[in-house]
Structure 1
Amino acid sequence: MEFPTKVALAQAVPVLPEGPGWWYEPKYDGHRTVLRRTDETVVLYARSGRAVTQHWMDLAVAGMELRPGTVLDGEAVIWREGRLDFAAAQSRAASSVTRARALAARYPASYVCWDVLQHPDPAIGDCRHLPYTERRAFLLELLADVEPPVQVTPVTDDRDVAVLWYDALREQGIEGIVCKRGSAGYPSGQRRWLKVRHADTVDALVLGFTGPRLRPHHLVLAVGDEGGPARVSARLEPVLAVRVGEALSGAVVVGERRAEGEPYTRVESDLVVEVLAGSGRHGTLTVTRMR
């Protein structure tokens, strides 16, 4: 198995699919993370493939309980007062290493896991080709004796239960439901899972910004998959601009120039924002919040 590996993605749909063979999981408002337990340590990767171990050292330490050779897919989340705090998780992911450690001391993270990509038993190894139901069984086995903050997400094959989750868990910060075929393998880099979300938005990866770092004016974004074309957002609302600036404080600068009379800074970042679905018809995108 090569690292970093491409994670499976989900396509937005308006309603939960019906029929036999579907499995439903809560959709968490956090930071997508692949956890790899090697013989000697733990390495964490963001959805982009960038190593982010130093930003989530509390999860790396917890991951040492896993058997060497285990690779998991899940979400790094932060719970505050009984609900998910996405802003806290995104601040951790986008901050400097020093600040990330300080944030971890205040708001420790949890790792909610939903898939196993590699089994530590060499006879099984890379199990992405196996059906979801088999991978789920392996996941439960591997984490049976592992305590929080590493934990397995709940799942159901009952659509009525999934509908109940969709409505009842919103107050806890659960943003929707992810739907997977029980007979399907792990679709690395493909949008074969389905997701139903409360918000009528799509995700966009931040590639850069115009204006000052602490209060950017516009964001340069890749909508959907990270390989999408770069597009410029509409001017950020003042409060959102401050929050984005804070999240970008630790981002690595990979290029600077001037564009249309103001500085443009290109960054290497895992910061994801939500833009209104259907916005951008004239080349701009309306950013609603950080993801």
Structure 2
Amino acid sequence: MVLLPPVEPMLAQAAEAVPGPGVLRDPAYEQKFDGHRAILFTLAEPGGRVLLQTRRGSLVQDRFPDVVAAAAEQLPAGLVLDGELLVWDPEAGQLSFEGLQRRSAARSRSAATLAARLPAYYVVFDILQQDGTELLSLPYRERRRRLEVLFAARSLTAPWTLCPMTTDVAKAREWLENWTDVSGVEGLVVKAMGQRYVTGARAWTKVRRRDTTEAVIGAVTGTLTRPQLLVLGRHDEAGRLRAVGRTVPLRPEQARQVAEHLAPADPGHPWMGVKFAAAWGSRDILDAILVRPDLVAESSADRAIDRGGVFRHPLRFSRLRLDVTVEDVPGFGAGPTAAAG
């Protein structure tokens, strides 16, 4: 059977720690990049086209003409690859999720201009079809071998990158600790070497690096006596309190701890009239209550942070830091940097 879009990608479920050989039989560890999942097709039909499919099944090849041109020139027909789209921002000198968002939303007329300014890259971690033959039933070990042969035989370079992989759990843990300091690398994906590719199944494991960090509580949802989640902020260079994210819902004991110290906002709160999105990129609005911004929350955060310093995923509240002041909190844009003490 020849694979054609839409193809449901195989997915991963989250875990807190890196599973070793005692938990997963014959594991392999890949670096997890903070991009957009995409399946690439090089069709074998006459005048074969290149298609790029998102995780949800939309076709977006018109928004990435640089990747399409490179695929048409460098890749054989009848190929289906699974990977991650990334974008490089030359001015910032790093990978840019915001640039990727702009590329993904571009109309075809502006796509070429954006491609020149914000070039795209494709990190390949799986091969689903080769020479028109579907490979889903092959074990990951064999699919990975074929990917490595493809990259070597074609001498593939940018915009193509073969996702780094290791079977050494110690090396994987080192990647999680050190490589995630690099912009665009957020953790690991763990697979079994004997595992076949099951479309739509959440059968891989993802482990994101999480860091302890501090921020100011500027608003809550729920009530002052029973807060449900916290809206967090940091001060910018001008001294303005800027929203940087929200927490996951508080556990009952956490809500009681926070409620003991909350105070209603004084007149002139810096967020007066501000609306807060329920999630990063969402149009849904939180029903938030402003509070006096003098409490510091310690939370854990992953590495998904936009260039402006906003956490894209909810933080996990750990405790109040009654031993530090808001002046001790990292500034807006500092990322997941812990405060002193």
Q: Tell whether 2:42 aligns with 1:37.
A: yes
Q: Tell whether 2:76 aligns with 1:74.
A: no
CA shift for structure 1 position 6 = 0.3
Change (3 A) 1:191 1:277: farther
Tell me the SS of whatever aligns to 2:206.
strand
Backbone CA RMSD of aligned residues: 2.9
Partner Cα separation in structure 2 for residue 98 and residue 222 of structure 1: 24
What does 1:125-204 correspond to in 2, within 5 Å? 125-144=133-152, 145=154, 146-173=156-183, 174-199=185-210
Tell me the SS of whatever aligns to 1:49.
coil
Partner Cα separation in structure 2 for residue 66 and residue 24 of structure 1: 26
Q: C-alpha offsets along residues 19-56 of structure 1, whole Å, 9 cap, x if unaligned?
A: 15100011101111111001312111111110000111
**One-letter amino acid of the structure 1 residue matched with residue 27 of structure 2:** W
**One-letter amino acid of the structure 2 residue matched with residue 130 of structure 1:** L
Change (3 A) 1:220 1:198: closer
> Structure 1: which 4+ aligned runs deviate by more than 3 Å?
80-83, 215-223
Deviating more after overlay: 37-46 vs 89-98: 89-98
Q: Tell whether 2:107 aligns with 1:96.
A: yes
Q: Tell whether 2:129 aligns with 1:118.
A: yes
Q: Tell whether 2:15 aligns with 1:6.
A: no
Match of 1:105 among 116, 129, 136: 116
Partner Cα separation in structure 2 for residue 110 and residue 220 of structure 1: 27
The alignment-based identity, stated in percent, is 34
CA shift for structure 1 position 199 = 4.6
Q: How many residues align?
A: 220
Q: C-alpha offsets along residues 224-255 of structure 1, whole Å, 9 cap, x if unaligned?
A: xxxxxxx945279xxxxxxxxxxxxxxxxxxx
Partner Cα separation in structure 2 for residue 107 and residue 164 of structure 1: 30
Tell me the SS of whatever aligns to 2:204.
strand
Which residue of structure 2 lines up, in the alignment, with residue 16 of structure 1? 18
Partner Cα separation in structure 1 for residue 170 and residue 285 of structure 2: 38
Instruction: Check conservation: 1:43, 1:53, Cα contact below 8 A.
Output: yes
Choose between structure 1 and 2 for higher RCO, CA contacts under 8 A separated by at least 6 residues.
1
Which residue of structure 1 lines up, in the alignment, with residue 58 of structure 2? 50
Partner Cα separation in structure 2 for residue 232 and residue 7 of structure 1: 27
CA shift for structure 1 position 150 = 1.3
Instruction: Check conservation: 1:29, 1:84, Cα contact below 8 A.
Output: no
**One-letter amino acid of the structure 2 residue matched with residue 114 of structure 1:** F
Partner Cα separation in structure 2 for residue 219 and residue 102 of structure 1: 33
CA shift for structure 1 position 221 = 9.6
Q: C-alpha offsets along residues 146-197 of structure 1, whole Å, 9 cap, x if unaligned?
A: 2321121110000111111111112212100000010000121111010011
Q: Tell whether 2:286 aligns with 1:234.
A: yes
Change (3 A) 1:216 1:87: farther
Instruction: Check conservation: 1:76, 1:112, Cα contact below 8 A.
Output: yes
What does 1:244-263 correspond to in 2, within 5 Å? none
Instruction: Check conservation: 2:275, 2:285, Cα contact below 8 A.
Output: no
Q: Tell whether 2:299 aligns with 1:276.
A: no
TM-score (norm 1): 0.68
Instruction: Check conservation: 1:26, 1:178, Cα contact below 8 A.
Output: yes
What does 1:189-228 correspond to in 2, within 5 Å? 189-199=200-210, 218=277
Deviating more after overlay: 46-55 vs 168-177: 168-177
Tell me the SS of whatever aligns to 1:18.
coil
